[in-house]
Amino acid sequence: MDRPNLPTFPTRSLEDRSRRRRQRFTEDKLVKIRTEHNNVGAFKTMLAALVILIQLGIIIALSFLPATIALVWYLAVMFVISVFTAISVMSSHRNTQAKAVWVLFILLFFFCGFIIYFMSNDKYMYARARRRHREIFARSEHFLPEHTAVNASDEMAHMCAYLNSAGNFRSYNNTRLNYFSSGAQLFDDVIESLKGAQSFVFIEYYAVSDGVLISRIWDVLEEKIKQGVDVRMIYDDVGSRAFSHAMRKKMRAAGAQVRVFNRLLSRFTFAMNYRDHRKIIVIDGKIAYTGGSNVADEYINEKHMHGYWKDTGLRIEGEAVDSFTLFFLRQWEFITNKKCEYTPYMGHYERFSSSYVAAPYVDGPEYELTICKSVFEHVISSARERLYIMTPYFIPDDSVTQCIINKALSGVDVRIILPSVPDKYYVYLVTCDNAEKLIKHGVKIYYLRDSFVHSKLAINETCAVVGTVNFDMRSFYQQFEDALLTDDQNVLAQINADFENTFPDCDNPQKPAKNGLVKTVAIALLRLVSPLM
């Protein structure tokens, strides 16, 4: 029987409310609604419609020829183009699995596959936007300090050097970090920090939804706007479908600057599938936040989506805040197509004496290298004693998978925590199949009981990554992401404690689950397209 809705207590902390719901959620009915791993259905529909129109045009042109000759010519031309396209795919810099899927698709559907490939290829369809990003980078990079070698272990120093070379990202020593083991803890701290805002508040999120959380945040921001605080928000159009027009209108009327990232249906653009998956809050240039949680009630367990919602976050103070300010302003300039004034928002941080390193970074179509994937590979390969991973989706490519296997075979304690409740069943099938295939190599797989794990963590004995990056192809190759790499021993201890507290609440299978015929066939078919998930 469903429990009645719990009363609302405005003065109770979000973490306290989340903890109470954690005790009760197993008796509540799980509400199945859409989450982050949505496919962009409208994009696919319009893409298919365009392909059909092109094909109809060719058919009409050939209709003036005798039927048999026209058909032969049509198929011959399409096949030749498809063969050359397949050769182009094989010589590209895509990952091997994605190449195989595209070649199979192009040759199997040679009458339209090559068109879909070129229309979805960021090399062709995102080139103009990438040039704009580069112009923005060039005009704003002088706000970053000069890169200097960090005082850290060899592994950490190498990773920081890579981040500087790959994306011009800086690594900082004078920074203080604090880790949150739940979304409710994170947003309790965010709301308290917002109350002290004096100059500006920048918010960039994939998913913003009407509800208790945004109302709590807006109550504070509305007062701050009256005090003259500059409030700006970026939300992703796909992730924020539950962010109502009425709420946005209310915020804008009060003086907040609210902008949408990559509006889905405003115009037909082939970049629709590139989503802003970042989660950034900057307050006065002194405090920044990031992590897995979005601004929606499920992330604080105010609403039961798929069981208990497990998430994490990070508070940043000190020099590293400037990087998050820069990340936001660059995205703001890209969206608004207006040059930003960076100077008023930089250099307001408080200096902290710390020997530990904090290295913020972002990734997305604007960068040529797969930065997030490479950092994960660095963390995995540098593990000597233990490697703990927490992720909602586990669909890595072969290089990451082999890296994890090699670590387990070398004696490293490798553990991966996954959800036991799926948000998208077809993705979950591939996730579980990928993970359980690692058991025979010594990797320990954990499923958090009656819960959806949304945390994005990777930690070894010397460093950790906290951010928005899933272990899947979309995060590695397609979406705009952000994260922070650190060797801060205090944060590492907090993250390790979170893992150790979570393991007892997990099921730990000792061998892969046995699948029936239908499920086995379904997994095999899904595996063909898993590189595109």
145-199 confidence digits (pLDDT tens): 887 777 778 889 999 999 999 999 999 988 999 999 999 999 999 999 999 999 9
pLDDT above 70 coverage of the chain, percent: 82
| Backbone torsions φ then ψ of 24, nearest 5 degrees | -115, -15
Question: Looking up tokens 């007062």, which residue turns up?
Answer: 223
Average pLDDT score, the chain: 85
Instruction: Provide the pLDDT for residue 151.
Output: 74
Instruction: Provide the pLDDT for residue 224.
Output: 98
The pLDDT of residue 368 is above 60: yes
Separation between Cα atoms, residue 215 and residue 221, nearest integer Å:
10
Separation between Cα atoms, residue 102 and residue 528, nearest integer Å:
10
The pLDDT of residue 41 is above 70: no
Q: Which residue has the higher pLDDT, 201 or 76?
A: 201
Q: Minimal CA–CA distance to 366: which of 121, 119, 128, 99?
A: 128
Q: Minimal CA–CA distance to 433: which of 521, 532, 513, 518?
A: 513
CA distances from 385 to 157, 380, 441 (A): 19, 11, 16
Tokens of 372: 């997030």
| Full DSSP string of 197-235 | --SEEEEEES-B-SSHHHHHHHHHHHHHHHTT-EEEEEE
Separation between Cα atoms, residue 349 and residue 82, nearest integer Å:
55
- Rounded to an integer, the average pLDDT of 482-505 is 97
The pLDDT of residue 277 is above 90: yes
Helices marked H in 37-126 — which ranges?
Answer: 41-62, 67-90, 96-108, 113-120, 122-125
For 467, the 3-state DSSP assignment is strand
Pick the range with the lowest mean pLDDT from 78-87, 179-188, 345-354: 78-87
pLDDT in tens, 89-141: 777 666 666 777 777 777 777 777 777 777 666 666 677 888 899 999 999 98
Instruction: Provide the pLDDT for residue 267.
Output: 47
Furthest C-alpha separation in the chain: 81
Judge whether 371 and 194 are in contact, CB under 8 Å.
no
Q: Minimal CA–CA distance to 402: which of 160, 89, 96?
A: 96
Q: Which residue has the higher pLDDT, 326 or 9?
A: 326
The pLDDT of residue 37 is above 50: no
Pick the range with the lowest mean pLDDT from 8-12, 101-105, 122-126, 320-324: 8-12
pLDDT band at 487; cut points 50, 70, 90: very high
Separation between Cα atoms, residue 122 and residue 181, nearest integer Å:
36
Pick the range with the lowest mean pLDDT from 4-8, 119-123, 235-239, 473-477: 4-8
- Rounded to an integer, the average pLDDT of 341-357 is 91
Q: Which residue has the higher pLDDT, 370 or 19?
A: 370
Separation between Cα atoms, residue 292 and residue 468, nearest integer Å:
5
Separation between Cα atoms, residue 407 and residue 404, nearest integer Å:
5
Separation between Cα atoms, residue 179 and residue 313, nearest integer Å:
6
Separation between Cα atoms, residue 282 and residue 279, nearest integer Å:
10
Q: What is the 3-state secondary structure (H, E, C) of 324-350?
A: HHHHHHHHHHHHHCCCCCCHHHCCCCC
Pick the range with the lowest mean pLDDT from 348-352, 436-440, 452-456: 348-352
* CATH class of segment(s) 371-532: alpha beta
Instruction: Provide the pLDDT for residue 119.
Output: 66
Listed in sequence order, the residues at least 6 apart from 88 whose beta carbon sits closer than 8 Å to its beta carbon are none
Instruction: Provide the pLDDT for residue 251.
Output: 97
Q: Minimal CA–CA distance to 334: which of 428, 234, 206?
A: 234
Judge whether 191 and 217 are in contact, CB under 8 Å.
yes
Instruction: Provide the pLDDT for residue 272.
Output: 61
The pLDDT of residue 27 is above 50: no
The pLDDT of residue 29 is above 60: no
Instruction: Provide the pLDDT for residue 124.
Output: 62
Tokens of 230: 């500059």
Instruction: Provide the pLDDT for residue 264.
Output: 74
Judge whether 266 and 278 are in contact, CB under 8 Å.
no
The pLDDT of residue 483 is above 90: yes
The pLDDT of residue 412 is above 50: yes
Q: Minimal CA–CA distance to 430: which of 32, 89, 97?
A: 97
The pLDDT of residue 484 is above 90: yes
Ranges of each domain in the chain: 41-120, 129-152+171-355, 371-532
- Rounded to an integer, the average pLDDT of 405-423 is 96
- Rounded to an integer, the average pLDDT of 344-350 is 94
Separation between Cα atoms, residue 356 and residue 346, nearest integer Å:
22
The pLDDT of residue 8 is above 50: no
Pick the range with the lowest mean pLDDT from 38-47, 83-92, 275-284: 38-47
pLDDT band at 35; cut points 50, 70, 90: very low
Amino acid at the residue 59: I
Q: What is the CATH number of domain 129-152+171-355?
A: 3.30.870.10
Same fold, 129-152+171-355 and 371-532: yes
Pick the range with the lowest mean pLDDT from 114-118, 440-444, 449-453: 114-118
Judge whether 449 and 506 are in contact, CB under 8 Å.
yes
Instruction: Provide the pLDDT for residue 32.
Output: 40
Contacts 24+ apart (CB under 8 A), 40-46: 40/238, 40/264, 40/272, 40/273, 40/275, 42/264, 42/265, 42/272, 43/264, 43/272, 43/273, 46/268
